Amino acid sequence: MKLYNLHIEIKPSWKTYNNITDLLKITHVKYKKSKFDSDEEPTDWHYQICENESDPPIDFINYFLNILEPNLINLKLLGIEPKDILFWIVYEYKHQCSLGFNSQELERIGKVGIGLNIDCYDITTSKP
């Protein structure tokens, strides 16, 4: 399984969190504080896509960039710079952790200034 995460670091604020959700127009649950939450405000916003082994590959880089690029100016108005945005892959594997990216995708990420993190976990050695 692969988890593709769009992660945005924000200054602690419920308002900013919900403004990002509205701006990016991603089906995402707007935060509503419950009685079980602490009084702390969120310091990050994230969106996650799950790809199972039987699913067709997801072009997550272009998908995320197509959402972000038209909104970079408005994100900046919310205090968010490209350095605050991260694409983060979590990859669970059985036999080999092998990921590939084409040069156009990497160039596009680099031009915007977004980071890319990859975490790989061997699920054959993980204990429940």
pLDDT digits (tens, 9 = 90+) for 62-89: 999 999 999 999 999 999 999 999 999 9
Residue 41 has pLDDT above 90, yes or no: no
Task: Give pTM, 2 decimals.
Answer: 0.83
Measured CA to CA, the distance from residue 22 to residue 29 in angstroms comes to: 10
| Closest among 99, 20, 24, 25 to 58, alpha carbons compared | 99
Residue 42 has pLDDT above 90, yes or no: no
Angle between helical axes of 103-112 and 60-68 (0-180°, round to 10): 30
Q: Where does residue 103 rank: exposed (0-12), middle (13-18), buried (19+ CB within 10 A)?
A: exposed
Q: Give residue 113's pLDDT.
A: 96
Task: State the pLDDT confidence band at 125, using cuts at 50, 70 and 90.
Answer: confident
Spans of all domains in the chain: 2-31+39-122
Q: Give residue 65's pLDDT.
A: 96
> Domain 2-31+39-122 carries which CATH code?
3.30.70
Q: State the pairing for strand pair 115-122/85-93.
A: parallel
Measured CA to CA, the distance from residue 73 to residue 66 in angstroms comes to: 14
